[in-house]
Structure 1
């Protein structure tokens, strides 16, 4: 048995795929604990998960586009969250004594603490921001990001000569994507395992009875949107779906206060059982912001997409999806209802988009999902135990 510690940020899109990997490790007889913001982790993981809380504090809401969004993410969340969690995480590692840490790329404190204690650790990449290096053409931006990470390393009082980028474990980087959505082959230490389609609790509150037979259904899920900006896009989306015709039934996963008056056929919930809807064959297309999880899950179920990327890695994922022929991209801030309706009708009516979605989905699923991730983590654990016994470790 190996003791794994999962270091995750308080972000649903990061926790959900990690939960599938944790379930696979647990099923194999390993001990798994989580650390992070317990008030966020507990509702997502359920009462039986072992959660070692690092405390709770408020962080600035993320916003903006492009470089402004990048600055907001790093200076408003990643860096302050790392500073806030490093000390409690160090104590948790001393008490729990894990054999291996799985560290989300947005929680660099986990890598710093693992390095301090000489523990093997793997990076977890549920998005494409760090894998695709979308800012490689802007060396000043990359230098700025490196400076922030070096600042965290110095603050943790780790030796300068030992510095390594805490986003990338030299032993293993687990990514819930595949070559079709990264645009390049992965380095040897990267394991592109594809989407993790772990079972989630059945949603008894979802109005399944309102899904009308014989309709083509579009799921609209845009993640956490920013106030009026989100409301404006959703208003245009409602009109676009009306233009698609009466045979198209929308399913909105969005806060009700952001939605305008909806047609009688529309279904609206704060949070939809996305995987269950897909697995039941209740959907024909997805409109989303281009987040890696939603895109990967849709493709795994052969569903074409229309993406309206907002920030961070979303434009990169949307561009790769379009290049793969499995969907279309529209401008979030400027798309008109008419243009959005054209894009939705195209993915609903075109067999080409659907066939490419099926093919790309098969390629992603070939990565092995949770089973492949668990295999690599087990190998990393064995290498760590070998090293601890005084032998030379074999990379996974």
Structure 2
């Protein structure tokens, strides 16, 4: 029996893809310890892992905000220092370490402990090829790199933490370029090679396993939601778990679709008060939460924030999508879907009810979107999901 250590940050989008993998490994007899913030403890314990909590205030979704970079670099280094204290001072020995791509410096734990590592990549592989070939990514990276380089060499608080890491653990902060496109002994990528841009330029240590579609304990019976659709075409609307406090967007959807003969299932998240949305059209069912996988399996169209997990899940079920990216990697995800003809990408800043209605009618009535999705859907399903990810993880312990 092998012992594995998973390390993650406080984000549903980064934790959820690993749950099926962890459950599968445990069912195969592996012992899994999972390091993550306390608020996600129950979610991971439900799949059988032993959880160790750590303090993390990392704000990854504003990481490139010019006004937040110093705070986020400090939080990133403090998070890494907290993890180093747990991992490097522990008497426990692990056969492999699985770390999230955002926590790229955790790969250093593997080097220090002579333990094989797995980088868990829940979005695209953002390596130098990706950055150099996509103008927007190159511009964002260049500005980000310049700001971080200045902070690492000039900011006293950051230098103090860097010195502690050097003195206590003999760890030198790597150049920012080493953190972009980081990879472990292998990297498990939760999409398909076909959907990944420039995948032909990646080496074979990147293992594309597709979305980790597995049972989630929080899912509920969908019958009451679907029954309200009265057999009509069903459109699912969700901005995910992070950028969902957007009453203005939801009201635009009401105005755009209230006269259409479709049924709309809208998930607004826990931070939005449904009462504050005002009058809800008769063809809308609005919830703070819905079981997304179940809804997507029945949906005819999806209006989404272009989060990677939600997008992969929609493509897995063959659902054409209107994408309204909010931040971080989402514009790149939306761009890739549009490039492959599987959906329509809209600009969140200039979106109107008229444009939303026109786009929805287009993806529902133009068969080209359904046809273009077929190849992506097939590639995602053939990638193998969480069972294949577990195979790759177990494989590195045999070759290490």
TM range (shorter): 0.7 to 0.9
Equivalent residue, structure 2, for 1:21:
21
Q: Is the aligned partner of 1:96 residue 2:92?
A: yes
Q: How do residues 94-173 of structure 1 correspond to structure 2 at under 5 angstroms?
A: 94-128=90-124, 130-131=126-127, 132-133=130-131, 135-137=137-139, 138-142=141-145, 144=147, 155-157=164-166, 158=170, 160=172, 165=178, 168-173=182-187
Partners of 2:11 and 2:194 in 1: CA distance: 25
Partners of 2:152 and 2:20 in 1: CA distance: 29
1:113-152 CA-partner distances (Å, limit 9, x unpaired)? 2222221111111022735436335535345557889978
Deviation at 1:253, TM superposition (A): 4.0
Equivalent residue, structure 2, for 1:211:
228
Q: How many residues are treated as equivalent by the alignment?
A: 376
Equivalent residue, structure 2, for 1:325:
341
1:351 to 367, 372, 383: 367
SS across alignment from 1:328: strand
Partners of 2:331 and 2:186 in 1: CA distance: 26
Q: How high is the TM-score relative to the length of structure 2?
A: 0.83
Instruction: State which drifts further: 17-26 or 137-146.
Output: 137-146
1:182 to 191, 196, 199: 196
SS across alignment from 1:325: coil
Deviation at 1:80, TM superposition (A): 4.0
Partners of 2:76 and 2:372 in 1: CA distance: 36
Partners of 2:149 and 2:384 in 1: CA distance: 32
1:315 to 313, 324, 331: 331
Q: How do residues 1-396 of structure 1 correspond to structure 2 at under 5 angstroms?
A: 1-43=1-43, 45-46=45-46, 48-54=48-54, 56=55, 58=57, 62-63=61-62, 68=66, 71=69, 74-75=72-73, 78-91=76-89, 94-128=90-124, 130-131=126-127, 132-133=130-131, 135-137=137-139, 138-142=141-145, 144=147, 155-157=164-166, 158=170, 160=172, 165=178, 168-185=182-199, 186-201=202-217, 203-204=219-220, 207-208=224-225, 210-224=227-241, 230-243=246-259, 245-255=260-270, 256-257=272-273, 260-261=277-278, 262-279=280-297, 282-384=298-400
Deviation at 1:198, TM superposition (A): 1.0
Long gaps (5+) in structure 1: 385-396
Long gaps (5+) in structure 2: none
Deviation at 1:378, TM superposition (A): 1.2
Partners of 2:324 and 2:67 in 1: CA distance: 16
Partners of 1:312 and 1:119 in 2: CA distance: 31
Partners of 2:205 and 2:379 in 1: CA distance: 19
1:73–1:5 distance in 2 versus 1, CA, 3 Å: farther
SS across alignment from 1:14: helix
Root mean square deviation of aligned Cα = 3.1
1:370–1:225 distance in 2 versus 1, CA, 3 Å: closer
Partners of 1:231 and 1:147 in 2: CA distance: 38
Partners of 2:26 and 2:334 in 1: CA distance: 34
Partners of 1:220 and 1:176 in 2: CA distance: 23
SS across alignment from 1:136: helix
Partners of 2:284 and 2:44 in 1: CA distance: 27
Deviation at 1:371, TM superposition (A): 2.1
Contact 2:110 2:117 in 1 (8 A): yes
Contact 1:136 1:142 in 2 (8 A): no
